Structure 1
Amino acid sequence: MEPKDIVYAISIMLTFAVGVWSLVLNYRNTRRTNFINTVTSQRVRWIEQLRQDISAFSGLTYTWSASNMEGKPQEYEMVNEIDRLRHVIRLRLNPAGTHDKRVEALLEEIPRYTDPSQSAKLSAALNDLTATTQFLLKEEWEKVKREAQPRRPPKFPHLRPPEIPPPLT
């Protein structure tokens, strides 16, 4: 075998290795991108659905309280829808989240104020629910924006400052 044949064989093997390496990297990047896109789109759908459910719950609760529906045929349907929304909203929340906990507490508190004599408390609680939900949705939207940004590897990973462990308590 001549030296030029050895060079050809080595260059063919290197080309093959680079091709396989490129294929593996592209596969990993495609999977990661698809995962991020799926999570981001699901989060956007969740945000919109929660917004719709909270607004429907607030509107129906206020309408039911203000319109004196007791004893009317529509009362049963309206109360059922309010209860359904209250439970659906709770299932959409993170039990460990700060704003989520506040929304959950308000969902438990609001039905106590549906008597027409407590309309001021109901209005305040519904306003608090709306404001807390706005903070929750803003927090989630920031997560969506962060997830959608492309990740860049650090230029010099060995020059990163060392991680400081949390203090012992």
Structure 2
Amino acid sequence: MIEVKDYITIAGIAVSVIFSFCSLIVGLKNAKKTLFINSVTASRIKWMDTVRTSISEYCGLILHVGLTDIDDEKEERLIIEKIDRLRFSIKLQLNRFDSFDRKIIEKVDHLSIIIEDEDLEDEVLESELNQLVILTQDILKLEWEGIKQEVRKGNLAKREKLALYYKHHLPNAHND
């Protein structure tokens, strides 16, 4: 015959099994969430580095073409080809539906056009390049702040993303 203490022991074992199972489920869910956040974060950091590298190389080549008299036609053609590849690469890394990204795309397209102007003043070119750099710094800062918040809080709610976006976008609105 089973005594009361046996029922208590069985109940204790059952509760332990249930708690262990729940802990396992929660642990797996948290591990999956952490893995996802780490994967997305790594991809975003890589994207930031790619954008930073592309923009800096693009600006350097635009400045070189704008400020230097290149006598060698072949060299000039190669530089222009590289500028074109970078321009399209930059545009493909950005979201054409985002107003912030669109400003960078417009500035990149504008710079590719104005360097063909032989009467372009050095100060104008440098100002245009500085505007592109500032826009890029702002978007990279926005992305970095988003990464930091997501690492701390997990997936951000839409209102948190909007607050972050407007914090970094509106105060630095660059009127062209």
Using the size of structure 1 for normalisation, the TM-score is 0.82
Q: Could you tell me how far apart the structure 2 residues matched to 1:48 and 1:6 are?
A: 62
Deviations 1:53-76 (A, max 9, x none): 001001001112222336522122
2:61 is the alignment partner of 1:60? yes
Deviation at 1:132, TM superposition (A): 1.0
Q: Which consecutive residues of structure 1, in runs of 5 or more, have no partner in the other structure?
A: 152-169
Q: Please, which runs of 5 or more residues in structure 2 have no aligned partner? A: 155-176
Instruction: Quote the residue 1:149 is aligned against.
Output: 152
Q: What amino acid sits opposite 2:30 in the alignment?
A: N
Question: What is the TM-score when the length of structure 2 is the normalising length?
Answer: 0.79
* Aligned equivalents of 1:146, 1:67: Cα separation in 2: 44
Name segments (4+ residues, structure 1) moved above 6 Å: none
Q: Is residue 27 of structure 1 aligned with residue 28 of structure 2?
A: yes
The aligned amino acid for 2:77 is Y
- What are the within-5 Å matches in structure 2 for residues 35-46 of structure 1? 35-46=36-47
Q: What's the counterpart of residue 120 of structure 2?
A: 118
Letter in 2 for 1:78: I
1:68-123 residue CA offsets vs partner (Å, 9 max, x unmatched): 33652212221111111101111111223232111011111112211331134322
**Larger RCO (CA within 8 A; separation ≥ 6):** 1
CA distance in 2, matches of 1:138, 1:71: 39
Partner secondary structure for residue 96 of structure 1:
coil
Counting aligned pairs with the same residue, the percent is: 30
